[in-house]
């Protein structure tokens, strides 16, 4: 059943992440899968609207592309690759990154301002329709998850589970 729920945009994104990444034991009933899919659709719609309201500043994509190009030039794909570089090569890579960052100081200031505004926006409470499921229709939370089962359970209980009377 659908319910009107008051939730901050930030908590809604947290809920989306939990629904998207949590592993549940089998069997998983049809109503459970329906709850996941309907709530994910609604969360995705809100995420799309947030992303449309706060697009990356002009020049951001170019900066990222240039930064990735520097790392690619030095064949650095992850932290351990960087650590294995000779000191002289690290200095060269760091100098190129520093030069790139210096060229884009105005971009970073714009990003900081945008992030502050976005943070405030995510704290605003909104009303959404979420599909709630009876507790007895919920499968067990698998032991293999990135977050503790208690944290997952608390989020689900607050927003998508109907407690028994």
* pLDDT tens for each residue of 138-165: 999 999 888 898 999 999 999 999 877 5
* pLDDT tens for each residue of 54-66: 999 999 999 999 9
DSSP annotation string for 33-84: HHHHHHHHHHHHHHHHHHHHHSPPPTTHHHHHHHHHHHHHHTT--SHHHHHT
Whether 157 contacts 130, CB under 8 Å: no
Q: Answer yes or no: is 93 within a domain.
A: yes
Same domain (yes/no): 8, 48 = yes
Mean pLDDT within 95-108: 93
Q: Answer yes or no: is 83 within a domain.
A: yes
Q: Answer yes or no: is 131 within a domain.
A: yes
Q: Answer yes or no: is 117 within a domain.
A: no
Which run of H or E residues covers position 144?
none
Q: Answer yes or no: is 119 within a domain.
A: no
Crossing angle for the helix pair 105-123 and 60-73, nearest 10 degrees? 120
Number of domains in the chain: 2
What's this model's pTM, rounded to 2 decimal places?
0.77
43 lies in which domain range? 2-54+125-162
pLDDT-based confidence at 105, cuts 50/70/90? very high
Exposure of 124 by Cβ count < 10 A (0-12 exposed, 13-18 middle, 19+ buried)?
Answer: exposed
Mean pLDDT within 89-101: 92
Same domain (yes/no): 49, 74 = no
Q: Answer yes or no: is 153 within a domain.
A: yes
Q: Is the dihedral of CA 164, 131, 144, 25 positive or negative?
A: positive
Q: Answer yes or no: is 39 within a domain.
A: yes
Whether 7 contacts 159, CB under 8 Å: yes
DSSP conformation class of 114: H
Same domain (yes/no): 71, 40 = no
- Predicted confidence at residue 165, as pLDDT, reads 57
Whether 70 contacts 115, CB under 8 Å: no
- Predicted confidence at residue 142, as pLDDT, reads 93
């Amino acid at each position: 059943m659908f319910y009107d729920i008051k939730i901050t945009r930030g908590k809604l994104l947290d809920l989306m992440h939990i629904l998207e990444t949590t592993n549940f034991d089998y069997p998983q009933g049809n109503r459970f899968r329906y709850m996941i899919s309907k709530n994910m659709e609604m969360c995705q719609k809100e995420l799309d609207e947030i992303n449309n309201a706060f697009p990356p500043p002009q020049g951001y994509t170019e900066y990222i592309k240039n930064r990735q190009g520097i790392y690619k030039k030095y064949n650095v794909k992850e932290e351990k690759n960087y650590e294995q570089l000779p000191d002289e090569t690290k200095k060269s890579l760091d100098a190129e990154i520093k030069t790139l960052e210096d060229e884009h100081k105005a971009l970073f200031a714009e990003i900081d301002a945008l992030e502050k505004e976005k943070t405030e926006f995510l704290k605003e409470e909104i009303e959404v329709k979420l599909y709630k499921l009876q507790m007895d229709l919920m499968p067990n939370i698998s032991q293999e998850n990135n977050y503790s089962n208690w944290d997952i359970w608390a989020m689900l209980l607050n927003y998508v589970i109907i407690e028994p009377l």
